[in-house]
């Protein structure tokens, strides 16, 4: 299913169904940002996840995730005296009522299947399990020397903030974006069994462990520090300013073009390379022969090590890509508001592909990854469930694209 030219192919449908139609080992690189757990609903049709595919499902509807109710009004009111919730791994805490907790969504079958919108699962564990299903198919279509980059973030186990509609938008950095579906994270109840009130739910770590257990190599956990990240209204912890971009591979030795991402050295490194490094190690003379104290002790002389490092730096000619990237968030277009910056997929694609290779984004959204792939002279395939988002992405990728590498307009740290 490799596109015959550089025009991105955008396939609309359930990500699992579409992935199964893509030939094995046909993709060199995956760059994607799946829906986050408990953040927002995209209004797409419910899909079936997990369970026994040969089973005739009998669905048991669950209460939908909902905006904050009147029972939750007031600071921390969800934890004032009332009903008590008993969880397995920690002491019970007080809640307004069990009904306030049961804000889940979708439907469940006795075989273990869940029907709903990805990201709106009743628990983060269920979300990670559903997402891991997708990457079983991703692993199948990825070449042996291919790389998979996944941008995802965690959240906190909290009750709805209450800031919905205009109140939420007034405090948002969304600017002039459309408000449809915008900044919904404050409208979702993210309390779940096993997670204590106000506890960080480390979804990226949970997902990484699931990928490890599925046979992937976890090669790097890049931190994306958002230069224009908004301040959270919190007073008892640092506010969040980063997300993770995790690099997964099928083997220990994937294709990686670090030369394409070398950056100029900082002035202090350039000065150090230009100066002949002198050893300051003390010497001793034994039977007329001079030794370093490190030689006599059977240890490596740090000066020799530093000299080798400096020589290697001079031969390399520039610094390698670090695992902390500083860049601003992307600008939302159309109705899709969760957009990462073009610099992010640009770094990933440049590092992991050659011109003409195929890039896949199984959660294409507005098509940012596909636009960058086309600009860098790569073929690309995008999968999108929303017919409206898929239509917008097709329009976006059809716009004229430049071919200049712009990855370092915002420099990684």
Which class is 9-44+118-157+192-260+323-397 in CATH?
Answer: alpha beta
- Residue 91 pLDDT greater than 60, yes or no: no
Question: Where do the domains of the chain lie?
Answer: 9-44+118-157+192-260+323-397, 264-316
- CA proximity to 164, closest of 192, 149, 144, 184: 184
Pick the residue with more confidence: 284 or 144? 144
pTM, two decimals, is 0.77
306 or 109: whose pLDDT is higher? 109
The pLDDT assigned to 77 comes to: 37
CA distance 312 to 304: 12
What are the tens digits of pLDDT across the range 325-364? 998 876 655 554 557 889 999 999 999 999 999 999 999 9
The answer to whether 40 and 181 have CB atoms below 8 angstroms apart is: yes
Tell me: pLDDT of 405 over 90: no
The separation between CA 303 and the C-alpha centre of its own chain, rounded to angstroms, equals 40
Q: How far apart are the first and last CA of the chain?
A: 37
| Lowest-pLDDT range of 173-187, 193-207, 337-351 | 173-187
User: In terms of pLDDT, which residue wins out, 229 or 91?
Assistant: 229
Find the length of the chain.
Answer: 413
Query: For residue 336, which of 43, 128, 70 has the smallest C-alpha distance?
Result: 43
């Amino acid at each position: 299913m490799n596109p015959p030219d550089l025009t991105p192919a955008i396939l609309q449908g359930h990500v699992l169904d579409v992935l199964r139609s893509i030939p094995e080992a046909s993709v060199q690189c995956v760059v994607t940002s799946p829906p986050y757990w408990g953040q927002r609903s995209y209004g797409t049709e419910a899909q079936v996840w997990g369970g026994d595919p040969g089973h005739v499902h009998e669905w048991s509807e669950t209460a939908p995730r909902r905006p904050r109710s009147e029972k939750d009004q007031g600071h921390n009111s969800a934890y004032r005296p009332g009903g008590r919730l008993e969880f397995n791994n920690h002491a019970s805490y007080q809640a307004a009522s069990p009904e306030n907790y049961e804000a889940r969504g979708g439907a469940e079958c006795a075989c273990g299947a869940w029907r709903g919108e990805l990201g709106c699962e009743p628990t983060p564990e269920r979300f990670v399990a559903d997402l891991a299903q997708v990457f079983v198919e991703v692993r199948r279509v990825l070449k042996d020397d291919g790389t998979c980059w996944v941008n995802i973030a965690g959240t906190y186990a909290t009750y709805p903030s209450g800031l919905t509609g205009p109140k939420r938008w007034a405090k948002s950095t969304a600017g002039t974006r459309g408000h449809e579906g915008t900044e919904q994270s404050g409208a979702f109840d993210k309390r779940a069994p096993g997670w204590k009130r106000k506890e960080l739910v480390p979804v990226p770590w949970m997902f990484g462990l699931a990928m490890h257990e599925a046979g992937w190599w976890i090669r790097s956990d890049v931190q994306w520090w958002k230069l224009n990240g908004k301040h959270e209204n919190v007073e008892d912890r640092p506010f969040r300013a980063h997300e993770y971009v995790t690099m997964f591979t099928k083997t220990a030795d994937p294709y990686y073009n670090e030369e394409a991402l070398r950056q100029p050295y900082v002035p202090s490194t350039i000065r150090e390379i230009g100066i002949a490094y002198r050893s300051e190690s003390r010497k001793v003379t034994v039977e007329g022969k001079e030794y370093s104290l490190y030689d006599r002790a059977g240890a490596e002389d740090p000066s020799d090590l530093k000299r080798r490092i400096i020589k290697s730096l001079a031969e390399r000619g520039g610094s390698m890509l670090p695992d902390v990237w500083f860049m601003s968030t992307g600008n939302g277009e159309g109705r899709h508001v969760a957009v990462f910056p073009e610099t992010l997929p640009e770094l990933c694609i440049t590092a992991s592909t050659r011109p003409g290779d195929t890039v896949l984004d199984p959660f294409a959204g507005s098509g940012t990854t596909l636009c960058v792939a086309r600009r860098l002279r790569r073929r690309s395939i995008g999968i999108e469930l929303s017919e409206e988002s898929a239509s917008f992405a097709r329009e976006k990728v059809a716009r004229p694209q430049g071919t200049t590498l712009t990855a370092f307009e915002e420099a990684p740290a």
